[in-house]
Amino acid sequence: MSILSSIHETLGIPTMLIFTTVFLLSLWIVTRRQKYSNLPPGPRPLPFIGNLLLLIKTPSTYKLFHELAQQYGGIFTIWFGSQCTIVLSNVDTLREAFVKNGEVLGGRPRGKTSEELTGYNGITANDGESWRVLRKFSLLSLRNFGVGKNSMELETRIQDETKWLQTEISGYKGEPFDIAELFNKAVSNVICSICFGERFDYNDGTFKKLLHMLDFFFAHGGPRTGSRKMWKQVVENDRAIKRFVKEKIEEHRKTYSGDTIRDFVDLYIQAEENEEDKTHLTEENVFQLIVDLFEAGTETTKTSLTWGVLHMTQHPHIQDKCHKELEIVFDKDHIPSAGDRLKMPYTEATVYELQRCANIAPVTIPHRAQEATSVGGYIIPAEAMIFGNLFSVHMDKEYWENPSAFNPDRWIKNGMVIKHENFMPFGIGRRICLGKDLAKMELIIMFSALMQRFSFKLPDGAVADMEGVQGMTLTPKPFKVCAIDKYLS
């Protein structure tokens, strides 16, 4: 005490304050150096706030990641405050991290956002054994409902929905309309039939309200950046979506028999009744799984199709080429199936190209390192957050010639569609999109059926905005489009 007071008297308060600050900073730097040695390179972080200033300055995270990838290469570090974050921006680092080290680097971050919205239940926010059991269960169940095998039943449901979509579009008689809204309804109806065993009329009030809430959730439900008021609304929307799912469960109980499992809600009731495996197939987990499927299964596919139409308005000759290809191989009333792919290589190539250029998921959902791991010769420390930077992979000049050009021909060799290792719109590894087979089926069927029948253009004087807005997905700004029905003209 006497030593402290004599130092105090000799140095005075301001010098003491400076001395303490320098001491704490040095301690912070030394501890960090020890914990975070051999990190991938990246912009210099400031104490405590990390690179937040950089993140605030650039409105779109994916653009910042793309710029930093040009500067620092395929693997770099960026600090979200004190959260160490690693960004993987080329095929090699992505494969090494998410495939070779997929188990260790396949966790999901723990944080207030996912805790409040999911309680870490379901698939998307979950990890460890609970995630593994649930993921296997969902893939098997999706397969039983016809996803990923040549199921006529599921394909017919998508084709039927596509017919509704065509009729609605044709009803606008070439006048401008919002196609995103229609895609929302069509795609959501497919996932509704898998989850709840029913489709909704496009004018159903509850359905419209529900889709509006889903849109809001995806626009603002990412990591908490908006105001408190906005966040409150996100949580309220999420609760309303859950109330809707709960109502469906109550309706199902009245007709549930257990002999035939009709949809995911029946699986939930079965899980509730089945006493054997309550460790992971809990009601909370299966309930959140339905919410995950419903939320992830609508917005993503709808946004991809909406970008597809917007790109087509900018490339009339590509629309024309698709139409000619489809006109030759199919009758007027035939809605193409996924199995028809081989007959329509140019249209299939156009779907791949629209996914590459649209980048609706420019970065993956964040992963979490469950242990310290080496990738690309650097250390990814335990508890680091990891993003796959899919945008940079799809725009890599070393791989794609003139990457910003929309060019379906890059997918065709000797009249056949080829694969590209730099194409990963659904991510890669253990956490690859759970609904990719369903999404692929919906995209090819709906896109080709629209190309077969309509020609899309923007209203006179309208200019396309190809920048998009980044929320949880990268969506086109709202626009109206005119669809000329070739069968009517």
Interaction site with ligand HEM (CB under 6 A): 123-124, 135, 191, 292-293, 296-297, 300-301, 304, 360-361, 364-365, 388, 425-427, 431-435, 438-439
Nearer to ligand HEM, 426 or 479 (CB): 426
Distance in Å, CB of 126 to ligand HEM, minimum: 7
Distance in Å, CB of 475 to ligand HEM, minimum: 12
Nearer to ligand HEM, 130 or 455 (CB): 130
Cα gap 101→295, rounded to integer Å: 28
Closest-approach residue to ligand HEM (CB)? 435
Nearer to ligand HEM, 234 or 293 (CB): 293
Distance in Å, CB of 435 to ligand HEM, minimum: 2
Distance in Å, CB of 328 to ligand HEM, minimum: 28
Task: Decide if 472 contacts 292 (C-beta within 8 A).
Answer: no
Nearer to ligand HEM, 52 or 432 (CB): 432
Nearer to ligand HEM, 271 or 482 (CB): 271
3-state DSSP percent of the chain in helix, strand and coil, to 5? 55, 10, 35
- DSSP one-letter code for 203: T
Distance of CA 101 to the CA centre of its chain: 22
Give whole-number Cα distances, 225 to 5, 260, 442, in Å. Answer: 45, 45, 32
**What is the crossing angle of helices 436-453 and 283-314, to 10°?**
30
One-letter amino acid of 377: G
Distance in Å, CB of 164 to ligand HEM, minimum: 18
Task: Decide if 322 contacts 203 (C-beta within 8 A).
Answer: no
Distance in Å, CB of 101 to ligand HEM, minimum: 13
Distance in Å, CB of 439 to ligand HEM, minimum: 4
Nearest to 267 by CA among 326, 161, 196, 190: 196
Nearer to ligand HEM, 336 or 427 (CB): 427
Nearer to ligand HEM, 124 or 162 (CB): 124
Distance in Å, CB of 303 to ligand HEM, minimum: 8
Nearest to 421 by CA among 87, 41, 99, 77: 99
Tokens of 328: 């030759």
Annotated binding site for heme: 433
Cα gap 64→391, rounded to integer Å: 11
Annotated binding site: 433
Cα gap 189→472, rounded to integer Å: 21
Tokens of 151: 């199921």
CB within 8 Å of 149: residues ≥ 6 apart: 143
Give whole-number Cα distances, 84 to 29, 40, 370, 450, in Å. Answer: 14, 11, 13, 45
Cα gap 65→69, rounded to integer Å: 6
| 3-state secondary structure labels for all residues of 391-454 | HHHHCCCCCCCCCCCCCHHHHEECCEECCCCCCCCCCCHHHCCCCHHHHHHHHHHHHHHHHHHE
Nearer to ligand HEM, 394 or 431 (CB): 431
Nearer to ligand HEM, 301 or 455 (CB): 301
Cα gap 182→385, rounded to integer Å: 36
Residue count of the chain, please give it: 489
Distance in Å, CB of 299 to ligand HEM, minimum: 8
